[in-house]
Amino acid sequence: MKKSTVLVCGGAGYIGSHTSVELVNAGYGVVIADNFSNSEMAAVEGVRRITGVDVPFVEVDCCDREAFRKVFEQYEFDSVIHFAASKAVGESVQKPMLYYRNNLTSLMNIIDLMREFGRRNIVFSSSCTVYGEPDKQPVTEQTPRKPATSPYGNTKQISEDMLRDSVAAYDGLKSIALRYFNPIGAHPSALIGELPRGVPQNLVPYITQTAAGIRECLSVFGDDYPTPDGSCIRDYIDVVDLAKAHVAAISRMVENKSEERYEIFNIGTGRGVSVLELVHKFEEVNHLKLNYKIAPRRAGDIVAIWADPSRANQVLGWKAERSLDETLAAAWAWEKHVRGIK
């Protein structure tokens, strides 16, 4: 017996494709919508190969309301997961209007169309960037949000506010915002993973591309921070674990497990890992040496942040399970698959 159907906007992207797999595995119907601005059809094919299900796919830009409306007309679904957003912090500083237009218009269209077609539940992909440089660690959902340090981070804060206000104003709408920490890794099948266009903005793809010889040298930005080894500390969450958190959020809303109509959850491991620690762990797990150098600090980087995931553990019934060793092995297996390395 198939459960209800979920529209996954941005479902050909890194987190979207992994979440689509986990939704199908959990018995949900899935429709993927994506405009391929930062993704490829290969990810949709990967989802289909892993699950053995011919998951429907629509190429559409969520910012194009009339084109997007056709998806609501064509498919029956009662839940939406919104991943369709631009996500590079540095690029957002250089191209703020691109980020405001893309990230906010897409969400406004989703909320309007959900109301128009009577669709109820939305899971929003938020970020720990909303906490800025927190005053104490680990961060809980009660940790105050701080003024955003980038247009990207600001779009996450504004989007959370839009959802909170919409849910308060419009009966029948429910939302869960998942504030993720740093997603890394790939599916154990090596059929889907993170495939950035151009120079990677995130640490692990840069590590794997350096290991594969695509990048000459990995820069570690700063070794003079007030941390045990001087490099920044983050909470690295396996993308498959993160995907399962979205399934837990959907089932919480679909099965009416809560009277709350707008909820927020931190999705992380609860453990801070430094950049240098991650580099050395990758070398150890995959039995190779990385060419890396210490570079000057990078503007806008915060010193340290990691999650207190206990609310997600207790209320959502979700917990990060995959070890850092498994995650880094999967990331390298995916890179080798993409590059045809034996």
Cα-Cα-Cα-Cα dihedral sign, residues 205, 207, 211, 214: positive
CB burial class (10 A; 0-12, 13-18, 19+) of residue 79?
Answer: buried
Amino acid in the structure at residue 268: G
14, 131, 152, 236: the catalytic one is 152
Q: Which residues contact 67 (CB under 8 A, 6 or more apart)?
A: 60, 61
Active site residue 99: no
Strands 233-234 and 273-274: antiparallel
Query: How long a stretch of residues is the chain?
Result: 342
Separation in Å, CA 20 to CA 25, 82, 86, 324:
9, 12, 19, 23
Separation in Å, CA 192 to CA 8, 25, 279:
16, 15, 22
DSSP string covering 80-114: EEE--S---HHHHHH-HHHHHHHHHHHHHHHHHHH
| HSE-CB for 84 with a 13 A CA cutoff | 31
CA 6 to CA 55: how far, in whole Å? 11
CA 293 to CA 265: how far, in whole Å? 36
Amino acid in the structure at residue 15: I
CA 301 to CA 203: how far, in whole Å? 13
| Phi, psi for residue 39 in degrees, rounded to 5 | -160, 175
Please give the DSSP secondary-structure letter assigned to residue 130: G
| HSE-CB for 185 with a 13 A CA cutoff | 23
Catalytic machinery residues: 152
